[in-house]
Structure 1
């Protein structure tokens, strides 16, 4: 993991004339802990530490953190946006159609494809924001179980 823990949220906020609030830190911490999280997952994580925080506050905080370029979001599937720390340019996402689990994969694996596409189409892929859909190993194993029974 890289060094987002060292993001000094308080000083970033101060430089914009904004107040540091515990909620803001907790939301940032939750994203750092979870890696990728929907607003609902972030809300659940923060609610464990702070009673009575509502989802609207979470959404507002996410918008703010995104404005400060500390977090960014990706639409990995039809569902909610998934937030992650902005420093995380270094991976692509493998998303399981069945269970929705997201795994990170080293973008170096796609270097060949990226180069081929660049040569063929003149289009440069942003590997840090690639989501590939498929079926994860756990779901494949589950599927196989049905055939033997």
Structure 2
């Protein structure tokens, strides 16, 4: 949290109690929507935090590069710490489970798209949908 405080101060911002609480929840979760983060923040027994405050905290933290969001489905984006964004999300259409696949192993797809189209793909921002091994058997 000290590094986050320094980063925020360098941008003229403060490490508020709300931002600390949001970061604490993200450190405990792999992927969480703003609503899920809000539920956990309000359950910690601290002062009330509104859902709009959680959204503002997430926006500020994402602008700083501390958190990233991914669209796992058609609902609200899921957030995670930026240092944990070195993977592709795999979402099972049948059971809804979310698993992770190392980003470097998806490099051939990214390279092929770039070579053929000149398009630079950011696989950390999206999810690949299909059926997990458990549901296929």
TM-score interval w.r.t. the shorter chain?
0.7 to 0.9
Q: Show the counterpart of 2:95.
A: 99
Task: Give the TM-score, by structure 2 length.
Answer: 0.82
Change in Cα spacing, 1:75 to 1:17, as seen in structure 2 (3 Å) is same
Q: Which has the larger radius of gyration?
A: 1
Q: Unaligned 5+ residue runs, structure 2?
A: none
Structure-2 change in CA distance of 1:67 and 1:110 (3 Å): closer
1:28 — aligned with what?
23
Asked if 1:112 is matched to 2:108, the reply is yes
Is 1:135 the counterpart of 2:128? The answer is no
1:40 and 2:35 matched: yes
CA shift at 1:63, angstroms? 1.4
Aligned length: 136
CA distance in 1, matches of 2:116, 2:64: 36
1:123 is paired with a residue whose SS is: coil
- Using the TM superposition, name which of 33-42 and 52-61 deviates more: 52-61
Q: Deviation above 4 Å: which 4+ runs of structure 1?
A: none
Consecutive unaligned residues in structure 1, runs of 5 or more: 1-5, 142-149
Indicate the RMSD between aligned Cα atoms, in angstroms: 2.2
